């Protein structure tokens, strides 16, 4: 049995955006059933949990006696059992891996920095000064992605685990009208989110946090 | 033959810290010979290079007809041929993968944000306001790592590709006296840097940029 660890409750703004969504989506694509292990937010900082997850983060995935953290590593682990998420051909597999790391190391950090600035420091005097440089990096990455998607339906060949990671990264910008400036990128994100496995994963996360599924 | 793409020249402050170092180090550990392909900085933004590397970044690695970018993906690719970098046992391998993603997604973004703030925005008025929150996240991650290293010589079992990534991430803070506040973490970083393969990789990068090897 697979057991996914996530928070028992989150602030309303986070519902639908908790990082277990990536893992839920991959599990749905792979058709793998799973159980939840719910963690109280304050318990994440306790020594017992930090022995498993040194950064007090979720998600974690338990697969038999294997305990994994880092959403990228969890997706890679799941993808290795599911050719839909990671092709068998070595060449194609390497390209998907490239884009998994690209989502997490070349795109997410800049988007997360901008979102953190707006969400947690928006009222501070210095935030207005910090914003232009943060936004410029985000705009550059979005342009780069939009260019890459010319003539491509997915990041690397067919739909893969890389698209799951990139879509959940792009969703960090929801409501900011930045992705929407790029036609190919917006269409790509929406194509990913139209997948039934994404819809199921999102509805399940929202249900846990007491919210109804959102209209498309 | 393996071909590593990096910049032909970099500003003096970057010599010894260019991200090809991770790949050079892994190649030295694996005993794999390689050639360099040198890219002029301004050519990284040209369409020809962006077709290979959409974010105009280095390093890239060409292995036969396979072209890879993202240092994490390149290390994972190399590690799959070298048990010293990634153990064969599935359980141990998964833990190394966890720590490869942890270095790149849970640690590097915060360290890079602080370094960017100091290096590129240090003279701007808002930087003084932004620094405390950026430093606090870095301190938290360093504390978490220091705690994890209690009773451990390496991040996950034996020395692995995860230690290469984490050491090059920690080196972003060189000169800031932050890693040095944590005895285990400093000793860990120094243990990694004492490896002959690191010394060779660093000397080779410095030589390319016209600098002599540094004294230990």
Half-sphere exposure of A89 (CA within 13 A, CB side): 8
* A216 within domain boundaries: no
Interface of A with B in 125-144 (CB under 8 A): 125-130, 133, 141, 144
Choose the mutation target among A49, A53, A72 for the interface with B, i.e. most B CBs under 10 Å. Answer: A72
pLDDT-derived band at B194, boundaries 50, 70, 90:
very high
φ, ψ for residue B130, nearest 5 deg: -75, -25
Whether B119 has its CB under 8 Å from any CB of chain A: the answer is no
Whether A183 has its CB under 8 Å from any CB of chain B: the answer is no
Q: Do A66 and B141 touch (CB under 8 A)?
A: no
Examine the domain organization and report whether A65 and A124 are in the same domain.
Answer: no
Examine the domain organization and report whether B6 and B38 are in the same domain.
Answer: yes
- Omega prior to A59 cis, within 30 of 0: yes
Task: Report the share of chain B in percent with pLDDT over 90.
Answer: 91
Q: Do B126 and A121 touch (CB under 8 A)?
A: no
Examine the domain organization and report whether B147 and B201 are in the same domain.
Answer: no
Instruction: Report d(CA A57, CA B107) in Å as an integer.
Output: 12
Per-residue pLDDT tens digits for A107-122? 999 999 999 999 889 8
Examine the domain organization and report whether A128 and A172 are in the same domain.
Answer: yes
pLDDT at B124: 87
Examine the domain organization and report whether B127 and B62 are in the same domain.
Answer: no
Sign of CA dihedral B142, B148, B154, B156: negative
Q: Is the ipTM of this complex over 0.85?
A: yes
* A18 within domain boundaries: yes
* A40 within domain boundaries: yes
B174-198 b/e (C-beta count within 10 Å ≥ 16 → b): eeeebbeebeebbebbeebbebebb
Examine the domain organization and report whether A64 and A132 are in the same domain.
Answer: no
Alpha carbon of A195: minimum distance to chain B alpha carbons (Å): 26
- Give the neighbor-by-neighbor strand order of the sheet with A66-69: A34-39, A2-7, A60-63, A66-69
Examine the domain organization and report whether B68 and B101 are in the same domain.
Answer: no
Whether B174 has its CB under 8 Å from any CB of chain A: the answer is no
B69 neighbors B77 (Cβ within 8 angstroms): no
What is the residue whose two structure tokens read 């929150």? B133
Examine the domain organization and report whether B66 and B143 are in the same domain.
Answer: no
Question: Which secondary-structure segment (H or E) carries B121?
Answer: helix B108-121
pLDDT at A120: 87
Q: Residues of A with CB below 8 A from B98's CB? A: 68-70, 73
Per-residue pLDDT tens digits for A170-210? 999 999 999 999 999 999 999 999 999 999 999 999 999 98
Q: Do A55 and B141 touch (CB under 8 A)?
A: yes
Identify the CA nearest to B101 among candidates A193, A142, A103, A180. Answer: A103
Per-residue pLDDT tens digits for B97-135? 999 999 999 999 999 999 999 988 888 889 888 999 999
* A161 within domain boundaries: yes
Q: Residues of A with CB below 8 A from B2's CB? A: none
Mean pLDDT for chain B overall: 96
Identify the CA nearest to B130 among candidates B144, B116, B140. Answer: B116
Whether A37 has its CB under 8 Å from any CB of chain B: the answer is no
* B163 within domain boundaries: yes
DSSP, collapsed to helix, strand or coil, labels residue A10 as coil
Whether A112 has its CB under 8 Å from any CB of chain B: the answer is yes
Average pLDDT for B170-182: 97
Alpha helices by DSSP H, chain A: 20-30, 47-52, 71-79, 90-101, 108-121, 125-148, 161-170, 183-193, 196-208
* B156 within domain boundaries: yes
* A157 within domain boundaries: yes
Examine the domain organization and report whether A55 and A125 are in the same domain.
Answer: no
Examine the domain organization and report whether B74 and B107 are in the same domain.
Answer: no
Which two three-digit tokens encode residue A216? Answer: 């498309």
* B170 within domain boundaries: yes
Q: Residues of B with CB below 8 A from A55's CB? A: 102, 106, 141, 144
CATH assignment of the domain containing B35: 3.40.30.10
Examine the domain organization and report whether A127 and A106 are in the same domain.
Answer: yes
Range of the domain at A145: 90-195
Mention every residue, 6+ apart, whose C-beta is less than 8 A from residue B206.
B15, B16, B212, B213, B214
Task: Report the share of chain B in percent with pLDDT over 70.
Answer: 99
Per-residue pLDDT tens digits for A77-97? 999 999 999 999 999 999 999
CATH assignment of the domain containing B98: 1.20.1050.10
Angle at B27 between CA B21 and CA B32, to 5 degrees: 150
Q: Do B69 and A113 touch (CB under 8 A)?
A: no
Phi-psi region of B157 (alpha: psi -120 to 50; beta: other; left: phi over 0): left
Examine the domain organization and report whether A98 and A31 are in the same domain.
Answer: no
Residue B17, Cβ density class (10 Å: 0-12 exposed, 13-18 middle, ≥19 buried): middle
Q: Which residues pair with B61 in a beta bridge?
A: B4, B68
- What's the total number of domains in chain A? 2
Residue A147 has pLDDT above 90, yes or no: yes
């Amino acid at each position: 049995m697979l057991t996914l660890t996530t928070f028992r409750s989150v602030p309303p703004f986070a519902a639908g955006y908790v990082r277990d969504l990536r893992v839920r989506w991959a599990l749905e694509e792979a058709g793998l059933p799973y159980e939840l292990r719910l963690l109280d937010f304050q318990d994440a900082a306790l020594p017992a949990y930090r022995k498993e997850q040194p950064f007090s983060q979720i998600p974690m995935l338990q697969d038999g006696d294997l305990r994994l953290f880092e959403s990228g590593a969890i997706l890679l682990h799941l993808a290795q059992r599911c050719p839909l998420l990671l092709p068998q051909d070595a060449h194609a597999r390497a390209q998907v891996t490239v884009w998994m790391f690209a989502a997490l190391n070349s795109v997410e950090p800049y988007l997360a920095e901008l979102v953190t600035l707006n969400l947690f420091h928006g009222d501070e005097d210095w935030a207005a000064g910090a914003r232009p440089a943060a936004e410029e990096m985000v705009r550059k990455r979005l342009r780069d992605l939009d260019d890459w998607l010319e003539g491509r339906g997915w990041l690397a060949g067919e739909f893969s685990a890389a698209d799951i990671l990139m879509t959940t990264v792009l969703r960090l910008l929801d409501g900011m009208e930045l992705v929407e400036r790029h036609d190919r990128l917006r269409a790509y994100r929406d194509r990913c989110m139209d997948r039934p496995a994404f819809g199921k994963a999102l509805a399940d996360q929202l249900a846990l946090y007491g919210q109804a599924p959102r209209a498309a």
